[in-house]
């Protein structure tokens, strides 16, 4: 792969609009056609190809934008981050293979990590040298992490960890696990939770892939049997790591992958272009039933853009985002799920004589439709988000 | 009401707007026009040289939100729109001063000799109706109005029969289009006000109404319904705020999606608010039905179903 290795990154202080133009042009010039899901050349990129692509994006100033320069970031504001995300969203490119590292582990390490941990982990995440997975959920502790059982016991300068995690995305490829454990018992509830950066090649870790409904093995069960890690793997003091994670999660829920609304718009264009390439599907688009549903979707996408842009402005003005990230998460996940159901309804009419682009769309949107059912589950289920909105935003009483 | 555009923010304007709108409630149309004029609300978005406040459309939004929230039965949105659209004539002066009341018939045309979906047309001086190339402001006394009270017997929409109209003034096609985009903004604000009030009322009621020894809002199904209502209200508000900002290329955004989205969301919120009030929600006494009627009237006036189809068709054509 041949990406522009030394792009000239504009100075946002002198040319704020230039940064956006730079992002647009760099992405247009460098995104390989086989990574574009709207291309007949498309194929699933290998991990190495995705990694090389994301590393090139980072070198071009399009990743790690808000991270401090000291740790390899570009030291920019959320406004530039949003501007670049709009350009990323406008193209049908693959999702990051390192989103846990960039969106979760990185910000948590930045908040509670030691200087050594920051210097060691953060640049490696941005340069795509190390991938992370998230070890939070357990068989008995999905949305309710109070029931967490994975236990960490201190033994001198090290910790012995025993337990099991589940729904761990990307565990098979990860170099590190952002692992949440407890030092006491389940009776301690939220007290005594302790977070670690555990190398996945540590003896005693076993990864068992789980086949998901989209026929992939993107998540797994991870078993920790007498896993011993040094104290230097600890992220923050007991209780500190988790409370920091809660704060980070609330911000991340509102700001991570902020390109979604623009990506949904891009996907909608992709679906329509595929339909237009086929006589039968093209006629479908003339039906008022589909026009109305697409019109409703356009309204929802615009509202999602509004929610995201408002969050960015609030954060830029120094306002706490708090539980409001739940509004965005709930809105985008349900919006996209409904969109994918519509897409599935349309591409289900693709047959052997349909255009090649329509056939490509059938494959893409069928997979996306199935995957969209994960979106209302991960990062806090719909019901968890509704609870947060009711309790923390609306402050509805639970009792008299 | 004083104004300092440089330092004043629309959200700060909301409180003053709400107080002024509250002062109008219960008055007849002529009195309401005079009181609104005295408070400066009719000319919020009209030029200062005409007696307006010379503020941008974003300052009209909290005024219309307050009108929705307080269920104002007066064509305030139309007054604001017409005062802005006719800013270069003495028509604006009369509207801003509360001496005249103007309304808009959103469907039909002068050429068709018939127009429909005009609210408060029985108590106005002027009615704006589309014509061949823009719109004409007709003297109300030169046309006949007939109430269409199917959706709202107390505050009906009106059909207008246009036989020998006297035209007071005209808007070009461009000005008519601009007025319609302004209308999407201000009506979206009004609708969000209606929805916001219904949500607040439902949240308060379910928090205090005790059944099976607990407040209704302690029950998950009720909490989740209220949370969904809040989500949609936030989405409508965010969409409208976005529509008021210029895009990345400094061009004005269309407010059609914010308007159409606000209608669907407000209908959901108000219908759920009625439902959550149980039997009381079905009574005339509980005024939530007025809000539902108001949203449905606006939905009908703009033929929102067709509008959504157009939005879809436009996106398809551009893709």
What integer is the mean pLDDT of A221-233? Answer: 98
What integer is the mean pLDDT of A186-214? Answer: 92
**8 A C-beta contact, residue B16 and residue B28:** no
For chain A, give the percent of residues with pLDDT over 70: 95
Tell me the residue range of the domain where B92 lies. 1-99
User: Which parts of chain A are beta strand (E)?
Assistant: 132-135, 151-155, 158-169, 176-182, 193-199, 205-210, 219-230, 234-235
Q: Count chain A–chain B contacts defined by CB atoms under 8 A.
A: 141
**B94 pLDDT above the threshold of 50:** yes
Question: Does residue B191 sit in the same domain as residue B154?
Answer: no
**B3 pLDDT above the threshold of 60:** no
Token pair recorded at residue A209: 């892939």
Closest chain B C-alpha to A334 CA, distance in angstroms: 11
pLDDT tens profile B217-232: 999 999 999 999 999 9
pLDDT tens profile A306-347: 999 999 999 899 888 888 999 999 999 999 999 999 999 999
Mean pLDDT in chain A?
Answer: 92
Question: Does residue B187 sit in the same domain as residue B280?
Answer: yes
Residue A241: pLDDT band (50, 70, 90) is low
Token pair recorded at residue A149: 């059982």
Question: Does residue B141 sit in the same domain as residue B164?
Answer: yes
Question: Does residue B120 sit in the same domain as residue B206?
Answer: no
Q: Which of A177-191, B162-176, B243-257 has the highest mean pLDDT?
A: B162-176
What integer is the mean pLDDT of B4-21? Answer: 78
- Residues A147-151: contacts with CB under 8 Å, at least 24 apart: A147/A186, A148/A180, A148/A181, A148/A182, A148/A186, A148/A193, A149/A182, A149/A186, A150/A179, A150/A180, A150/A181, A150/A182, A150/A224, A151/A181, A151/A182, A151/A183
Residues of B in contact with A335 (CB under 8 A): none
Residues of A in contact with B220 (CB under 8 A): 387
Cα–Cα distance measured from residue A127 to residue A55, given in angstroms and rounded to the nearest whole number:
5
Question: Does residue B158 sit in the same domain as residue B244?
Answer: no
Domains of chain A: 16-126 (1.10.540.10), 132-238 (2.40.110.10), 257-393 (1.20.140.10)
Q: Determine contact: A300 vs chain B, CB below 8 A.
A: yes
ipTM reported for the complex, 2 dp:
0.95
Smallest Cβ–Cβ distance between B257 and the set A288, A302, A331 belongs to A302
Question: Does residue B201 sit in the same domain as residue B302?
Answer: yes
Of A90, A91, A88, A109, residue with least CA distance to A100: A109
Contacts of B287 (CB under 8 A, 6+ apart): B71
Cα–Cα distance measured from residue B184 to residue B173, given in angstroms and rounded to the nearest whole number:
17
**A272 pLDDT above the threshold of 50:** yes
- pLDDT at position A43, please? 95
Residues of B in contact with A327 (CB under 8 A): 230-231, 234-235
Closest chain B C-alpha to A397 CA, distance in angstroms: 6
Smallest Cβ–Cβ distance between B309 and the set A86, A292, A399 belongs to A292
DSSP structural state of residue A389: I
Task: Tell me phi and psi for residue A260, to 5 degrees.
Answer: -55, -50
CATH number at residue B92: 1.10.540
Question: Does residue B239 sit in the same domain as residue B252?
Answer: yes
Smallest Cβ–Cβ distance between A306 and the set B241, B309, B319 belongs to B241
- pLDDT at position B285, please? 95
Cα–Cα distance measured from residue B7 to residue A23, given in angstroms and rounded to the nearest whole number:
35
Spatial strand order in the sheet of B126-131: B144-148, B157-161, B114-119, B102-109, B126-131, B134-139, B167-171
Put simply, the chain B residues between 192 and 221 with a CB less than 8 A from any chain A CB are: 203, 206-207, 210, 214-215, 217-218, 220
Question: Does residue B56 sit in the same domain as residue B38?
Answer: yes
Smallest Cβ–Cβ distance between A400 and the set B215, B239, B316 belongs to B215
pLDDT tens profile B247-272: 888 888 999 999 999 999 999 999 99
Task: Tell me phi and psi for residue A226, to 5 degrees.
Answer: 50, 50
**A264 pLDDT above the threshold of 80:** yes
Residues of A in contact with B319 (CB under 8 A): 268-269, 272-273, 276
Burial string for A177-199 (b: 16+ CB within 10 Å, else e) reads: bbbbbbbeeeeeeeebbbbbbbe
- pLDDT at position A246, please? 77
**B282 pLDDT above the threshold of 60:** yes
Question: Does residue B180 sit in the same domain as residue B272?
Answer: yes
What integer is the mean pLDDT of A157-170? Answer: 96
**A15 pLDDT above the threshold of 80:** no
What integer is the mean pLDDT of A391-397? Answer: 94
Question: Does residue B152 sit in the same domain as residue B86?
Answer: no
Task: Please state whether the predicted TM-score (pTM) of the whole model is above 0.90.
Answer: yes
For chain A, give the percent of residues with pLDDT over 90: 76
Token pair recorded at residue B142: 């030169």
Mean pLDDT in chain B?
Answer: 95
CATH number at residue B276: 1.20.140.10
Smallest Cβ–Cβ distance between B231 and the set A276, A331, A399 belongs to A331
Listed residues B131, B147, B171: the one ending a domain? B171
Question: Does residue B197 sit in the same domain as residue B312?
Answer: yes
Listed residues B171, B195, B215: the one ending a domain? B171
**8 A C-beta contact, residue B24 and residue B35:** yes
- pLDDT at position A16, please? 65
Cα–Cα distance measured from residue A122 to residue A102, given in angstroms and rounded to the nearest whole number:
9
**8 A C-beta contact, residue B64 and residue B237:** no
Residue A162: pLDDT band (50, 70, 90) is very high
Question: Does residue B65 sit in the same domain as residue B130?
Answer: no
Cα–Cα distance measured from residue B25 to residue B37, given in angstroms and rounded to the nearest whole number:
14
Cα–Cα distance measured from residue B53 to residue B60, given in angstroms and rounded to the nearest whole number:
10
Residues of A in contact with B243 (CB under 8 A): 302, 306
- pLDDT at position A47, please? 95
Listed residues B139, B171, B203: the one ending a domain? B171
**B59 pLDDT above the threshold of 50:** yes
Put simply, the chain A residues between 269 and 288 with a CB less than 8 A from any chain B CB are: 269, 272-273, 276, 285, 288
**B4 pLDDT above the threshold of 60:** no
Cα–Cα distance measured from residue A35 to residue A45, given in angstroms and rounded to the nearest whole number:
6
CATH number at residue B111: 2.40.110.10
Closest chain B C-alpha to A383 CA, distance in angstroms: 8
How many domains are contained in chain B?
3
Residues of A in contact with B240 (CB under 8 A): 306
DSSP structural state of residue A66: T
Its sign, for the CA torsion A325, A330, A336, A339, is: negative
Q: Which of A145-154, A232-241, B231-240 has the highest mean pLDDT?
A: B231-240
Closest chain B C-alpha to A298 CA, distance in angstroms: 7
What integer is the mean pLDDT of B170-183? Answer: 97
**β partners of residue A181:** A194
**DSSP-based three-state secondary structure for B157:** strand
Question: Which tops the pLDDT comparison, A397 or B197?
Answer: B197
Test the B interface: residue of A89, A390, A397 with most B CBs within 10 Å: A390
Residues of A in contact with B310 (CB under 8 A): 291, 295
């Amino acid at each position: 792969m041949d990406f522009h290795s030394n792009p000239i990154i504009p100075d946002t202080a002198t040319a704020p609009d230039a940064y956006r133009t730079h992002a647009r042009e760099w992405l247009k010039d460098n995104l390989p056609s086989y990574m574009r899901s709207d291309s007949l050349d498309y194929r699933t990129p290998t991990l190495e190809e995705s990694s090389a692509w994301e590393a090139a994006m980072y070198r071009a100033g399009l990743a790690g934008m808000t991270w401090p320069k000291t740790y390899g970031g570009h030291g920019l504001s959320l406004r530039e981050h949003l501007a670049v995300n709009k350009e990323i969203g406008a193209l049908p490119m693959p999702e990051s293979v390192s989103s846990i590292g960039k969106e979760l582990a990185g910000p948590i390490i930045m908040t509670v990590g030691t200087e050594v941990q920051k210097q060691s982990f953060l640049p490696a995440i941005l340069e795509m040298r190390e991938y992370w997975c998230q070890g939070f959920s357990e068989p008995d502790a999905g949305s309710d992490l109070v029931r967490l059982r994975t236990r960490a016991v201190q033994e001198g300068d090290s910790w012995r960890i025993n337990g099991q995690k589940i729904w761990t995305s990307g565990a098979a490829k990860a170099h590190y696990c952002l692992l949440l454990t407890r030092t006491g018992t389940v009776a301690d509830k939220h007290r005594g939770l302790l977070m670690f950066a555990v190398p996945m090649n540590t003896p005693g870790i076993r990864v068992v892939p789980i086949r998901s409904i989209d026929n992939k093995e993107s998540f797994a069960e991870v078993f920790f049997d007498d896993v011993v890690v040094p104290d230097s793997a600890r992220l923050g003091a007991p209780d500190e790591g988790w409370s920091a994670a809660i704060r980070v999660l609330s911000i991340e829920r509102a700001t991570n992958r902020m390109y979604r609304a623009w990506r949904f718009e891009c996907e909608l264009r992709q679906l329509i272009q595929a339909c237009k390439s086929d006589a039968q599907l093209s006629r479908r688009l003339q039906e008022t039933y589909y026009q109305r549903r697409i019109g409703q979707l356009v309204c929802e996408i615009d509202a999602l853009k509004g929610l995201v842009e408002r969050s960015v402005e609030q954060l830029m003005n120094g306002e706490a985002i708090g539980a409001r990230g739940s509004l965005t998460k709930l809105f985008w996940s349900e919006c996209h799920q409904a969109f994918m159901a519509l897409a599935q309804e349309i591409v289900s009419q693709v047959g052997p004589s349909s255009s090649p682009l329509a056939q490509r769309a059938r494959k893409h949107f069928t997979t996306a439709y199935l995957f969209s059912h994960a979106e209302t589950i991960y990062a806090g289920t719909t019901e968890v988000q509704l609870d947060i909105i009711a309790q923390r935003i609306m402050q509805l009483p639970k009792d008299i | 009401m004083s104004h300092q555009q440089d330092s004043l923010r629309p959200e700060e304007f909301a409180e003053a707007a709400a107080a002024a709108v509250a002062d109008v409630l219960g008055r007849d149309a002529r009195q309401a026009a005079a009181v609104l004029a005295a408070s400066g609300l009719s000319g919020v978005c009209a030029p200062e040289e005409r007696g307006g406040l010379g503020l941008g459309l974003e300052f009209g939004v909290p005024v219309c939100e307050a009108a929705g929230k307080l269920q104002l039965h007066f064509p305030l949105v139309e007054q604001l729109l017409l005062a802005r659209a006719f800013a270069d004539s003495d028509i604006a002066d009369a509207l801003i001063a509360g001496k005249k009341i103007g309304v808009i018939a959103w469907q039909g045309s002068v050429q068709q000799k018939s127009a429909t979906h005009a609210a408060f047309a029985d108590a106005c001086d002027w009615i704006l109706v589309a014509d061949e190339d823009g719109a004409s402001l007709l003297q109300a006394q030169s046309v006949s109005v007939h109430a269409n009270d199917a959706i709202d017997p107390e505050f009906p929409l009106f059909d207008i029969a246009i036989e020998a109209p006297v035209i007071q003034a005209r808007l070009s096609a461009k000005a008519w289009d601009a007025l319609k985009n302004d209308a999407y903004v201000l009506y979206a604000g009004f609708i969000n006000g209606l929805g916001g009030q219904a949500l607040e009322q439902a949240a308060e009621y379910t928090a205090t109404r005790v059944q099976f020894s607990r407040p209704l809002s302690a029950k998950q199904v009720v909490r989740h319904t209220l949370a969904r209502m809040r989500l949609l209200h936030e989405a409508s508000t965010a969409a409208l705020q976005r529509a008021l900002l210029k895009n990345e290329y400094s061009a004005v955004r269309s407010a059609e999606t914010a308007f159409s989205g606000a209608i669907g969301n407000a209908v959901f919120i108000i219908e759920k608010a009625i439902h959550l009030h149980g039997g009381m929600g079905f009574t005339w006494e509980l005024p939530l039905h007025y809000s539902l009627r108001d949203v449905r009237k606006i939905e009908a006036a703009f033929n929102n179903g067709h509008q959504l189809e157009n939005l879809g068709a436009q996106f398809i054509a551009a893709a």
